Amino acid sequence: MSEENASMLLPIFIETLVPLRIHDILKIGGISQEHLDYAKQYGDMLAGPPCEDLMYKPDRKKDKGNSKEMLNRLTRVLAIMAFLPGGVTFLGLHFEVPARKEQQA
């Protein structure tokens, strides 16, 4: 996959997967301390080399599943951050769960 294709597909994956992860979190009643700990552990990837690898890594054949794991972590962190006041914006996509919606789940 070319770098151009990879950078075009990442926002599509994120736009699709983050709402699904938000839905899963809502089903269990919202975020927990475990979720916040996970976001703290992996949140740095939003601005660091792991995310850059997702966007610009041209050789997926040598990837050995790392991109899949990074994408899973990234979408989970974004979904968790969507529950925080003001939500989260990443690659021009904004995700936010209003407080009242979190309480309704």
What's the domain count of the chain? 1
Q: Is residue 18 packed enough to be buried (19+ CB in 10 Å), middle (13-18) or exposed (0-12)?
A: buried
**Between vectors from CA 95 to CA 76 and to CA 22, what angle results, nearest 5°?**
45
Domain hosting residue 77, numbered range: 3-104
Q: pLDDT, tens digit, for every residue of 62-104?
A: 556 677 888 888 999 999 999 999 999 988 999 999 986 545 5
Q: What is the pTM of this model?
A: 0.78
Q: What is the pLDDT of residues 20-65, one digit of tens each?
A: 999 999 999 999 999 999 999 888 777 665 566 666 554 555 556 6
- Within the chain, residue ranges assigned H as helices are 3-27, 33-42, 49-56, 66-81, 99-104
**Token reading at 41:** 């552990």
Amino acid identity, position 20:
L
